[in-house]
Amino acid sequence: MASLNEQLAILVENFTACDISDALLKLQKVPAGSAPRAGYLADLTPLSPITGRNDTARKIAAPATTFKFLNKSDIPPNIAVENPEKHGFPPGKHWVDYVGDFQDADPAKVGSIIVIEQPDEQYCAVTGGIMATRMKYLGIKAAVVGGRIRDLRELQGTDLPIWARATSTVGTGAEAKAGVRNVPISISGITVSPGDIIFCDPMEGVVAIPRDLLKAVLEIMPKLMSMDEQWGPAAVPAELVAERGRSNSPTSSTSLNFNYTLPTTKRKQQEQFVVIRIASSHAPSTLHRSRPIGAARKPTHNNPTLLPANMASPHRPTSPYAEEDPYSQYPPKRQWPPDMSKLSPKHQFRLERKYRRRAALKYARPKFIKAVTLAQWVIIGFVAIYAILFMNWDTKDTPFDGIRENFFAGLKSVFSTPPPPGPVKRSDEKN
């Protein structure tokens, strides 16, 4: 029989939180009238060492050490008062120092994950930077907080994986206090008992495995995964989905509509994307194929050395394909018109507005500047002529008298009608 350390290593290396939930759906008995939860601790987000769901942090699995926080004015439960050494918090010692009790009593040294329950109506944090540093020092593998935390920068500096429901800036003493430890607690509606296996998947979420079901979960998960491999992307009978019970919805299996294209040869199955489109009330999401089935791929600037289909390796990358890609090893300097097919409507509108403004400025600004410059010189010329002709109008014998006379004589000759020619003299004819 494998040890607990070996079982946890198998969990982390080979399975995800979704695989565990699939197994718990098969194994756990759900009371009548309640929906199956399959051990999923909902509404928890990784906040340390990386904030948000990611595929870079490591998966963690370890037994749970439970803590339950109460309102500041509440009286601790009887179990904490009657047995303070095991379930309470005797004076003179901080609650975070008790997280090492499980570590000291565990001969296998598998470590533990701290699981904390906080009342829903509280807005203070129950874990901060100092407490996380102490947990890391005591050898805790991770912390799962069904409440709020704070000091995110310090928490991420400890490199301790921490999952929480939300954050706060208020310390614990404002509203909460540590009430009881090593008792069953409730996180997101799931009961977590001391010793239950907590599986933290940074991409999928957190799942609690009852300790007595760990062996059965490890036995059934390979069978479920082999069923997935046998189905394949090309033939998924609806009755198998209903039999496995992934959805566990009241929707009958006959209402599922599977539209798929079956590849005729193994080579086509390697070269083409085949996507199953599921349309039902329970699973309304739709997967869109990346490119048309049967479309031939050709070298582009992204993959200029792509070989023909009969010479290419089956492990070549399957990047999205576009018919209009230029046949060049260098990407184009500028794409016009811009490709907006992958942008949201808001960003499409912003990009169109950007280029419209740019075009308007490019063609309108030079004409506008020329018109303004021309108007400026017209005004300057008018002022200069007005100053020369009409300044000192009442003064006689000025240097501009001759200029004024010549100017008005010229205007008269330009705008006046010349007299008609006179009769031809006979003396002119003789000459």
Q: How far is CA 85 from the centre of its chain?
A: 46
pLDDT above 90 coverage of the chain, percent: 24
- Asked whether the predicted pLDDT for residue 293 surpasses 80, the reply is no
Q: Tell whether 150 is in a known binding site.
A: yes
Model confidence band, residue 206 (pLDDT cutoffs 50, 70, 90): very high
pLDDT tier, 260 (very low <50, low <70, confident <90, very high otherwise): very low
Q: For residue 291, what pLDDT is reported?
A: 44
Helices (H), 245-391: 266-271, 345-390
Determine if residue 130 is labeled as part of a ligand binding site: yes
Residue 104 labelled as part of a binding site: no
Beta bridge partners of 209: 197
- Identify the top-confidence range among 94-108, 182-196, 389-403: 182-196
Is 53 annotated in a binding site? The answer is no
- Reduced to 3 states, what is the DSSP secondary structure of residue 301? coil
Q: What is the spatial distance between Cα 277 and Cα 259, in angstroms, rounded to a whole number? A: 5
**What domains appear along the chain, each with residue ranges and CATH number?**
4-219 (3.50.30.40), 344-415 (no CATH)
Q: Is the pLDDT score of 327 beyond 60? A: no
403 is in an annotated binding site: no
The predicted structure's pLDDT at residue 249: 42
Is residue 310 predicted with pLDDT exceeding 50?
Answer: no
Q: Check whether 129 is labelled as a binding-site residue.
A: yes
Residue type, 267: R
Helix, strand and coil content of the chain, in percent to the nearest 5, comes to: 40, 15, 45
Q: What angle do CA 288, 294, 295 make, to 5 degrees?
A: 85
Strand 257-259 with 277-279, pairing: antiparallel
Round to whole Å and give the CA distance between 421 and 399.
Answer: 37
Residue type, 71: N
